[in-house]
Amino acid sequence: MLRYLTRSIAIGLVTALLLIAVVPSLRDPLLDKFASQITPPNSFTEMRVSFKNAVRKAAPAVVNIYSRQYSPQDRSQLKTQGLGSGVIVDERGYIITNYHVIAQADQIIVALQDGRIANAQVVGSDQRTDIAILQIAMTDLPVIPQNPNNDSQVGDVVLAIGNPYNLGQTTTFGIISATGRSSISADGRYSFLQTDAAINEGNSGGALVNTQGELVGINTASFQQATDMDTYGISFAIPYELANVVMKKIIADGRVIRGYIGIDAQDINAVTARLLGVNYTHGIMVLAVNTGGPADQAGLQEQDIILAIDGKKVEGRESVMEIVTDLRPGTTAKFDILRDGESMTLEVMVGEDTQ
């Protein structure tokens, strides 16, 4: 009986398939649509993945930068000593590059991809973040796409655009390998992006863009060990958000003015909270207060827990540094703290970080 039933079902399925093949009108349009979507491409061209649109949007705004110095033997002669890249970020001619690209320059030449060349003026620089802002007097400038809501994540595809070894504009490909790399920062305060997109000499100051052609970082360095071992696939970029903040401060004041309160602190975690007998797992605990500093004068003490600054919730040590850095020296900020289990608010007169 089972054999007979199985045979009947098989004959029925074969008959149905033959009818559908012979009479197209019996086919379900939805099945045809699905079949067309899963049909493998008939040529390699249909499989090609390209980021050419991103490059077309971003590349015209990435410039070559040549720093020149006077010859020690003849002050009337200028010689090209440095090579780098830069990114046009504003139609007024503002260019972001690395501080180390122009640090020793007596003259800075900017070459655009459309063949135009201009002398650049240094608006200001910040060695701590390795950022310099230049300006050129030109019209009809290409400006790189920028997204203030950009949120770079590990695994994002990125393209590095610059002028390595003066070969001409070159684009390399990779992903964001890590975020929050503060160990390469001059003072450990700022976090960098790590990527495996190749960044070589001459790429410094160039653009790191996403697949939409939007600026996500300023290429700054490749990882070099203090040994003879070659290292590949480890490069770093200054996040766009940080570069943009620094640029705005330099344009406004000619330099970066940072707030300062004079404390050393550590993050509050579950273990620390349990030891202190509190329920807070955000905020930071003050470890030391600089004698005579703004925090000391305001009455901040060791083991105080800072919960918020001017109403902004503190998530950790890094967030406090960002908040305090952005505070204008001479202004007063309200610090919500916890001391011996009691909440209180202290007013701190912000000083200026001169280090």
pLDDT of residue 58: 96
198-241 pLDDT, tens per residue?
888 888 999 999 999 999 999 987 655 444 555 567 889 999 99
Sheet holding 117-119, edge to edge: 117-119, 107-111, 62-70, 78-88, 94-97, 131-135, 121-126
pLDDT of residue 189: 61
Q: What percent of the chain has pLDDT over 70?
A: 77
Catalytic residue among 125, 152, 191, 204: 204
Read off the pLDDT of each residue in 46-71 and give the average, rounded to a whole number: 88
Catalytic residue among 85, 125, 126, 130: 130
The HSE-up count of residue 61 (CA atoms within 13 Å, CB side) is 30
- DSSP per-residue string spanning 159-206: EEEE-GGGS--EEEEEEEEEEEE-TTSSSS-S-EEEE-S---TTTTT-
Query: Which residue spans of the chain are classified as CATH 2.30.42.10?
Result: 259-352
Calculate the alpha carbon distances from 196 to 44, 154, 159 in Å.
Answer: 27, 11, 10
pLDDT-based confidence at 283, cuts 50/70/90? confident
Read off the pLDDT of each residue in 61-83 and give the average, rounded to a whole number: 83
Read off the pLDDT of each residue in 239-258 and give the average, rounded to a whole number: 93
* Res 182 pLDDT > 90: no
pLDDT of residue 15: 59
* Res 115 pLDDT > 80: yes
CATH of domain 259-352: 2.30.42.10
Between 189 and 138, the more confident residue is: 138
Q: Cα–Cα distance between 222 and 203 in angstroms, integer?
A: 10
Q: Cα–Cα distance between 200 and 89 in angstroms, integer?
A: 22
* Res 47 pLDDT > 60: no
Read off the pLDDT of each residue in 8-25 and give the average, rounded to a whole number: 56
Q: Cα–Cα distance between 115 and 128 in angstroms, integer?
A: 33
Q: Is 67 a catalytic residue?
A: no
pLDDT of residue 226: 43
pLDDT of residue 212: 94
Between 334 and 355, the more confident residue is: 334
pLDDT-based confidence at 9, cuts 50/70/90? low
Q: Cα–Cα distance between 281 and 275 in angstroms, integer?
A: 12
DSSP 34: H
Tokens 């899963």, located at residue = 38
SS3 of residue 350 by DSSP: coil
Read off the pLDDT of each residue in 343-351 and give the average, rounded to a whole number: 93
pLDDT of residue 225: 45
The answer to whether domain 157-241 has CATH 2.60.40.1120 is no
Between 220 and 250, the more confident residue is: 250
The HSE-up count of residue 52 (CA atoms within 13 Å, CB side) is 3
Query: Which residue spans of the chain are classified as CATH 2.40.10.10?
Result: 157-241
Please tell me the least confidently modeled range out of 4-18, 100-114, 323-337: 4-18
Q: Quick check: 172 and 157 in contact, CB under 8 A?
A: no
Q: Cα–Cα distance between 129 and 186 in angstroms, integer?
A: 7
Tell me what percent of the chain is helix, strand and coil, each rounded to the nearest 5.
25, 35, 40
Q: Is 100 a catalytic residue?
A: yes
Read off the pLDDT of each residue in 331-343 and give the average, rounded to a whole number: 89
Catalytic residue among 67, 85, 100, 125: 100
* Res 32 pLDDT > 80: no
300-329 pLDDT, tens per residue?
999 888 988 998 888 777 778 888 888 899
Q: Is 282 a catalytic residue?
A: no
pTM for this model (two decimals): 0.76
117-135 pLDDT, tens per residue?
999 999 999 998 899 999 9
* Res 340 pLDDT > 90: no
